[in-house]
């Protein structure tokens, strides 16, 4: 039987394996461009632009996300129980107490943001506070606190940089090709290589997005394991996931830009039915997460 520690180690390993794959993908794109164009300066330029853009979004992402989600800050007097839960879990994990926000919405859900533990934020919906029992609420807060402690915001920022690099390089390639910046090659072999390069650069952004979602799903599994390790009660999180995923209400502030942050996908009626659609899911299937939680040994 799997243990919480093995589950966490496995998901950390897979996350960094995907990150390594990202770097290999970027090097492959760079190699293709070095063959098609006269130099590799395009790759360096794209990397620089992506890093600057992602660095800026990293510093201000929490403010943007909270505004998009229509979350409002609450004080300890507004919800003493929620604050006690957050404080106790933060002390257990050796983390600063996160700022707490509430979203006025019937759908039970929650997310965490903040560039580092000192600036951690946890937002919960009023539906979550109303529907979950205390142990289930504690499990969800532990899950979100795990995202903060595991530096998931930092990892996601790195992923955004890498995806941006691939997308910008591919876009620049097509612009250069359109304006005649490609090196001329004669013969069937040269044309075949150029056709292969074109196909690769079309597929590269799609592959980058798939890898981005794969990393996001692995971080969800890791947060589940970390939360169960913190509370020592995996069943509470499993029950919470069941209640959240079965709730029929749509989250009014949900959008594609922030959907991956929530403990469960905020969209209803859009569950993946095929393996191809599952590749583009921001979250692992809830059934899979619940099964994993109930199979691990505390």
Query: Hey, which residues are catalytic here?
Result: 144
β-bridge partners, 103: 71, 125
The two three-digit tokens of residue 126, written as one number: 């009023």
- The contacts of residue 102 (CB under 8 Å, 6+ apart) are 71, 72, 74, 78, 79, 123, 124, 125, 126, 129
25/162 Cα distance (integer angstroms):
9
Cβ count within 10 A of residue 244: 25
Of all helices (H) and strands (E), which one includes residue 125?
strand 121-125
Mark out the alpha helices in the chain (DSSP H runs).
Answer: 4-36, 41-68, 80-93, 126-131, 134-149, 152-178, 187-231, 234-246, 275-279, 286-295
252/187 Cα distance (integer angstroms):
57
């Amino acid at each position: 039987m799997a243990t919480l520690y093995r589950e966490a180690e496995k998901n950390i390993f897979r996350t960094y394996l995907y990150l390594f794959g990202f770097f290999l993908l970027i090097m492959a794109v760079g190699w293709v461009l070095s063959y098609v164009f006269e130099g590799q300066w395009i790759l360096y330029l794209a990397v620089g632009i992506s890093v600057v853009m992602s660095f800026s979004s990293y510093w201000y992402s929490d403010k943007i996300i909270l505004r998009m989600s229509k979350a409002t800050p609450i004080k300890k007097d507004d919800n003493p129980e929620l604050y006690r839960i957050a404080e106790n879990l933060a002390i257990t994990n050796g983390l600063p107490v996160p700022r707490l926000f509430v979203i006025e919405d019937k759908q039970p859900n929650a997310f965490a943001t903040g560039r580092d533990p000192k600036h951690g934020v946890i937002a919960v919906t009023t539906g979550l506070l109303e529907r979950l029992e205390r142990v289930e609420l504690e499990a969800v807060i532990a899950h979100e606190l795990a995202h903060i402690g595991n530096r998931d915001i930092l990892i996601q920022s790195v992923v955004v940089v890498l995806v941006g690099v691939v997308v910008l390089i591919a876009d620049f390639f097509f612009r250069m090709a359109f304006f005649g910046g490609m090196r001329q090659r004669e013969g069937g072999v040269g044309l075949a290589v150029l056709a292969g390069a074109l196909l690769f650069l079309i597929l590269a952004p799609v592959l980058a997005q798939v890898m981005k979602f794969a990393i996001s799903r692995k971080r969800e599994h890791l947060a589940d394991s970390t939360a169960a390790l913190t509370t020592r009660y995996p069943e509470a999180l499993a029950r919470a996931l069941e209640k959240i995923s079965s709730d029929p209400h749509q989250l009014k502030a949900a959008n594609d830009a922030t959907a991956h942050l929530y403990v469960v996908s905020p969209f209803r009626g859009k569950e993946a039915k095929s393996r191809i659609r599952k590749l583009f899911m921001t979250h692992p299937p809830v059934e899979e997460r619940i099964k994993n939680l109930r199979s691990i040994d505390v």
